[in-house]
Amino acid sequence: MSLTHYLVLAAILFSIGATTALLRRNAIIVFLGIELMLNATNLAFVTFSRVHGNLDGQVMAFFVMVVAAAEVVVGLAIIVTIFRTRRSASVDDVNLLKS
Amino acid sequence: MNLLDLLPTAEEPVAVAATAASGAFSAGWLLVALPLLGAAVLLLAGRRADRWGHWLGVAASGSAFVVALVLWLAMLGGTAAERVVDLHLFSWITAGAFSLDAGLRIDPLSLSFVLLVTFVGTLIHVYSVAYMEHDVARRRFFAYLNLFVAAMLLLVLADSYVLLFVGWEGVGLASYLLIGFWNHELPNAVAAKKAFIANRVGDLGLLIAIALMFATFGATDFTTVFAQAPEASAGALTAVGLLLLLGATGKSAQFPLQSWLGDAMAGPTPVSALIHAATMVTAGVYLVVRSGPVYAHAPNALLVVAIVGAITLLFGAIVGSAKDDIKKALAASTMSQIGYMMLGAGLGPIGYAFAIFHLLTHGFFKAGMFLGAGSVMHGMGDSVDMRRFGGISRLMKVTWITFGLGWLAILGVPPFSGFWSKDKIIEAAFATADGQGWQPWVFGLVAMIGAGITAFYMSRLFFMTFHGTARWSDGHGGGAEDPDAPVRHPHESPALMLWPMIILAVGSAGLGGVLAIGGAFTTWLEPVTGHVEHAEPVLPVPVITIATLLLVAAGALLAWRQYGAAPVAVVPPHGSPITRAARRDLYQDDVNDAVLVLPGQVLTRSLVFGDRQVVDGFFSGLAHLVASTGEIVRRTQNGFVRSYAATMLAGIVVLVAIVLAFRI
């Protein structure tokens, strides 16, 4: 399998993630889309690490995982709080910034 | 021997040099200070002074008259050479090399004015006590009257043009305040504004004249200016003379700045008598006569003075013949009579003394007639329409007789006051210049015809008001049978109003004759106007006098035929074009509106329009642009998280595309 296949896969996964994050209303699903995008980038990092033969990309992938884990904790906490106050997990209901 | 040497040297009158003040004269400052103090007290004391304020006003003016009498007696005690006195008051302005002292010039000319202003002023103060009795603002009225007297005395007593200007503006202010005294009615306020603005035009001329004097002579006090006048260039002197004349035309309601005087009658009648008949409006004549040494070297400017006087003389007389408002007819007459004085002053040294003489007698008879008109208005329910007067001579006998004496005086019937002064001016007009050229004939005939028209319009006024049939109804079937006739209850005025009228009527009858004995008044003025040999008129003197008297008689008879013997229409007839023009002040207001007011309004409106559209338009357009841009940008801030995310994504895609585009 060539490099291109990995990168195409990463791009497809990223696009799916981005589309999910942009189109779905449910905050949990949006979250899943974001995770998908992060992991698509991780795949790209690891692919380049392999191609270049050094470990920088893999180190970066670990960083992304750590940040993602922290982000999931904070993000889920926010979603739960919002759900408690508004009885809804839709991101469109959280539009207080408008007006 | 040169032929020119034989001509009378009327150009160089010998005036007396000023001496420093001593004795009684050092109290001269009281003349200005007393009325000023009165005005200050009346204005500052407020309502507390309401009960006695008017008597304080009378006292302030009366005490100034007493001081003037003392000074006059002191001056009579001295020889002619001692009669020009300079009273130094204080150092007023010092700036570098420039210094200006405030001082008073007490001489026969200024003292004549002071006596006139304080005497007539005091009488009118007394009259006003009764006339303004029911006015809630009587105290304020007396404060303004006192302010006027103070300013007028400062004007005539000043020893420099700058100090004269202070008084000049002071009387303008007092005149404005008093014309608009009943300013709760719009026409009065508009009339006051008109008078103020017309006066400012003239004042600007005076101000520029003062500046020009400063540039030419380096000083503005009379002594220096007059001493240096012979050495100055003719151009500068002519310019100064013409600018002084502009100032005089504004203050004295002379052509072309005369339009304000008729409207100024909106003020209370005592104001019309004091300010707009006897004193303030004659300040222009004073200015010209006082500036005699300047005009002596500017013959062209002097000729313009005479022309302005001649034009106004006829102008006022024609307007006066058509007015139905008794006060406006008297105002037109004032204008015309000041035209006589201006003409006299414009004749140079031969006319100066007669101009001032006429000013003095006019001060008496015109003030008396205005007070008479006020008395008639008082009895006729404040009506001024002469077409609704008539037949009140029996009901207001004192007013009728006093007014009649004033009427005879202004007609110039011997031996009443006006004859002595006006006839002299007409004589002098025929004798103007060197007895050659067109001037004596033109000025002389204008003055003579003016006397005839004066007789017509004053007789018209007199007959319409006091004689003929009553054109009003007394409410009980008396008076006019016309059902539309207004109900009036004519009655004689209180004694406080009658006595000033009686005293002024005595002056109208006798003052001229007394002062004319042996040329007493002209001799008295000689220290100022200089001694002038009598110039020979182009016509023999008896011919002039008889012709004038015939014209006067013809004018009076015509008026009697039309307004005394025949019934007077209560509605003004259509009249000839001249009558219609005269009713509208010979279209002077229309000309002013078309030439000055309208372009001014167009200019201000277009400036306002330009300001709104261009200047404001630019900035409000800028603000509008920013606001509408914000409106568009605001739409992106919709509060939906997903659209923010989409924007970010799109932004990143664009950035990456740019980076790639530049890399590859």
Query: Cβ contacts (< 8 Å) between B638 and chain A: which residues?
Result: 95, 98
User: Is the pLDDT score of A72 beyond 70?
Assistant: yes
- pLDDT on residue B433: 57
Distances (CA, A) of B33 to B28, B53, B278, B539: 9, 17, 22, 49
Q: Please tell me which of the candidates B638, B642, B645 has its beta carbon nearest to residue A98.
A: B638
Cα–Cα nearest to B52, from B157, B138, B171, B128: B138
Return the closest-CA partner of residue B162 out of B204, B113, B216, B221.
B221
- How would residue B482 be classed by pLDDT, with cut points 50, 70 and 90? confident
**Of A49-58, B90-99, B105-114, B598-607, which gets the smallest average pLDDT?**
B90-99
With 90 as the cut, is the pLDDT of residue B658 above it? Answer: yes
> Taking chain B, what is the end-to-end CA distance rounded to the nearest angstrom?
116
Q: How confident is the model at residue B405 (pLDDT cuts 50, 70, 90)?
A: very high
- Residue B122 pLDDT grade (very low, low, confident, very high; cuts 50, 70, 90): very high
pLDDT tens digits, one per residue of B12-56: 445 666 777 677 788 888 889 999 999 999 999 888 888 888 899
Q: For chains A and B, count residue pairs whose Cβ atoms are closer than 8 Å.
A: 29
Of chain A residues 25-44, which have a CB less than 8 A from chain B? 25, 30
What confidence tier does B58 reach under pLDDT thresholds 50, 70, 90? very high
Query: In this structure, are residues B585 and B319 in contact, taking their beta carbons and an 8 Å threshold?
Result: yes
Of B514 and B481, the one with more pLDDT: B514
A91 with B640: Cβ contact below 8 A: yes
Phi and psi torsions of B506, nearest 5°:
-60, -45
- Bin B390: left if φ > 0, else alpha if -120 < ψ < 50, else beta: left
User: What is the spatial distance between Cα B92 and Cα B441, in angstroms, rounded to a whole number?
Assistant: 48
3-state per-residue secondary structure call for B423-468: HHHHHHHHCCCCCCCCHHHHHHHHHHHHHHHHHHHHHHHHHHHHCC
Please give the single-letter amino acid code of residue B175.
S
pLDDT above 70 coverage of chain A, percent: 95
Q: Contact B13/B292 with Cβ under 8 angstroms?
A: yes
pLDDT number for residue B477: 67
d(CA B300, CA B306): 10
Using a CB–CB cutoff of 8 Å, tell me whether B656 touches chain A. no
Which of A18, A92, A99 has its CB closest to that of B649?
A18
Q: Is the pLDDT of residue B94 over 90?
A: no
Task: Decide if B639 and A30 are in contact by the 8 Å CB cutoff.
Answer: no
Query: Minimal Cα–Cα distance from A59 to chain B, Å?
Result: 24
Q: Which of B641, B643, B653 has the most A C-beta neighbours within 10 Å, making it the best mutation to test the interface with A?
A: B641
The DSSP secondary structure of B650-663, one letter per residue, reads: HHHHHHHHHHHHHH
Looking at the predicted structure, is the pLDDT value of residue B541 above 70?
yes
Residue burial B10-37, b: 16+ Cβ < 10 Å; e: rest: beebebbebeebeebbeebbbbbbbbbb
CA–CA gap between residue B12 and residue B8 (Å, rounded): 10
Q: What is the pLDDT of residue B563?
A: 86
pLDDT band at residue A70 using 50, 70 and 90 as cut-offs: very high
Mean confidence (pLDDT) of chain B: 87
Test A95 with B642 for CB contact under 8 angstroms. Answer: no
Nearest of B415, B414, B257 to residue B339 by alpha carbon? B257
User: Does the pLDDT at position B151 exceed 60?
Assistant: yes
For chain A, state the CA radius of gyration.
16
Q: Once rounded to an integer, what is the mean pLDDT over residues A34-45?
A: 93
**pLDDT at res. B8:** 38
Q: Give the span between the Cα atoms of B45 and B55, in whole angstroms.
A: 14
pLDDT for B380 beyond 80: yes
Report the pLDDT value the prediction gives residue B490, as an integer from 0 to 100.
83
CB B212 within 8 A of CB B298: no
ipTM, two decimals, is 0.82
B386 within 8 A of B461, measured Cβ to Cβ? yes
Measured CA to CA in angstroms, residue B627 lies from B52, B614, B632, B636, B639 at distances of 66, 19, 9, 15, 20
**Residues B346/B302, Cβ–Cβ less than 8 Å:** yes
**How close, in Å, is residue B632 to chain A by CA atoms?**
14
Top residue of A91, A93, A96 to mutate, by most chain B CBs within 10 Å, is: A91
Nearest-by-Cβ selection for B640 from A21, A23, A92: A92
Across the interface, of A22, A96, A99, the residue whose CB is closest to B642 is A22
* Whether pLDDT at B460 is above 60: yes
Chain B stretch 634-653, residues whose beta carbon is closer than 8 A to a beta carbon of chain A:
637-642, 645-646, 649
Q: pLDDT tens digits for B419-439? A: 888 888 898 888 865 656 788
Nearest Cα neighbor of B106 from B140, B141, B157, B153 is: B157
Which residue is associated with the tokens 């006067």?
Answer: B552
What pLDDT score does B436 carry? Answer: 67
Can you tell me which residue has the tokens 């750590």?
A66
pTM (two decimals): 0.79
Nearest to B112 by CA among B409, B370, B364, B349: B364
pLDDT digits (tens, 9 = 90+) for B127-150: 999 888 888 888 999 999 999 999
For B542-566, write each residue's pLDDT tens digit: 888 999 999 999 999 999 998 888 8
On the question of pLDDT at A67 being above 70, the answer is yes
Nearest CA in chain A to B647: A22
Q: Say whether residue A23 is in contact with chain B using an 8 A CB cutoff.
A: yes
Contact call for B637 and A23, based on CB within 8 A: no
Strand ranges in B301-342 using DSSP code E only, listed in sequence order? none
The confidence score (pLDDT) of residue B7 equals 37
A85 to chain B, any CB pair closer than 8 A? The answer is: no
